[in-house]
Amino acid sequence: MRKLRLEELKRLSVADYKKAKKRSLVIILDNIRSMHNVGSIFRTADAFRIAKVYLCGITPKPPHREIRKTAIGAEESVDWEAHAYTIQVVQALKHAGYEILSLEQTEGSRELGKFTPAGNKNYAIVLGHEVDGVSQTIIDQSDEVLEIPQYGTKHSLNVSVSAGIALYHICSGMGDL
């Protein structure tokens, strides 16, 4: 086996990415505080060709060198919008027919591995604050709450790690673009 060189990966240019078909999946960041986490989530959104990222509340917004440091330019390829209130984004997306999925530990949450996306639905996944998680107000508006099972001593994963795990699972279930 030989490691591929960058030019062999045949990645899209930013212009081609903008024109390419996207998944029927958006990300809502509910008061994420770390610019590094935001940048990392942008980079993951680019990898899975997510339709849009909504930056809500205190979530930092591009342009900023600390976001770019981990996004490596993905904040330019992935469409995004900034909003003061997460609840307004959630309600607008629900009205537009999106199913709202929060990634959180709650009573009655479903294990991520047991969630299978329906091919004909639009999904919005909500990721929450690094300490406080997804707000209860947003959980109350969610159609479903998904949880990543954990077996160690810590009670949570880093939000950007959780995003990668959840997006991989959901996108794998949605099939190819």
Distance in angstroms (rounded) separating the CA atoms of residues 152 and 145? 21
Q: What is the mean pLDDT of residues 2-21?
A: 94
pLDDT band at 8 (very low <50, low <70, confident <90, very high): very high
Q: What is the mean pLDDT of residues 159-177?
A: 96
- Decide if pLDDT at 133 tops 90: yes
Distance in angstroms (rounded) separating the CA atoms of residues 55 and 167? 17
pLDDT value, residue 32 = 98
> What is the length of the chain?
177
Distance in angstroms (rounded) separating the CA atoms of residues 77 and 162? 22
- Decide if pLDDT at 6 tops 90: no
pLDDT value, residue 119 = 80
Q: What is the pLDDT of residues 31-77, one digit of tens each?
A: 999 999 999 999 999 999 999 999 999 999 999 999 999 999 999 99
pLDDT value, residue 68 = 97
Task: Kindly give, in sequence order, each residue whose CB lies less than 8 Å from that of residue 108, ignoring residues fewer than 6 positions away.
Answer: 145
In this prediction the pTM is 0.97
Q: What is the pLDDT of residues 61-120, one digit of tens each?
A: 999 999 999 999 999 999 999 999 999 999 999 999 999 999 999 999 999 999 999 988
User: For residue 32, how many other CB atoms are within 10 A of its CB?
Assistant: 23
pLDDT value, residue 100 = 98
